[in-house]
Amino acid sequence: MDKFARQALAEGITSREDIVVTMDSEIFRTLNQHYNRNNHVQPPESLVNVVQESLREFFDAIRLGKDAEPSWKKQIYKVRLMNGVVVRQLVLVNFIQAGGAR
């Protein structure tokens, strides 16, 4: 996330609204490959919005110089508790991959 936010700034993006993530975006593909290596589940379309909003939060923080503060990322992670379909699906996939209930 950090890398992609810095890349957006380096490319001259000045507004968070100019950051648009799609399922074909490099950041989305990278995250999906990392967390869903064997493509066990089809990523929900709502995941695109989660990635986009997260990237925008990182972008704003870096643009405002908050990345110079220690633990600056923690504030972004606390922005909102996400207990929606995306989170439940990821928890279920991790549970199944770990061998389920014993």
Task: Look at residue 77 in the predicted model and tell me its pLDDT.
Answer: 76
87 falls within a domain: yes
Task: Look at residue 99 in the predicted model and tell me its pLDDT.
Answer: 56
pTM to 2 decimals? 0.74
102 falls within a domain: no
Q: 102 falls in which pLDDT band (50, 70, 90)?
A: very low
DSSP H/E element including 43? none
CATH number reported for the structural domain that contains residue 92 in this entry:
1.10.10.500
52 falls within a domain: yes
Q: What's the number of domains the chain is made of?
A: 1
- Distance between CA 63 and CA 14 in Å, rounded? 8
Using only C-alpha atoms, the chain has a radius of gyration, in whole angstroms, of 15
Domain that holds residue 42: 2-97
Q: Residue 47: how many CB atoms within 10 A of its CB? A: 22
Hey, what amino acid is at 26? E
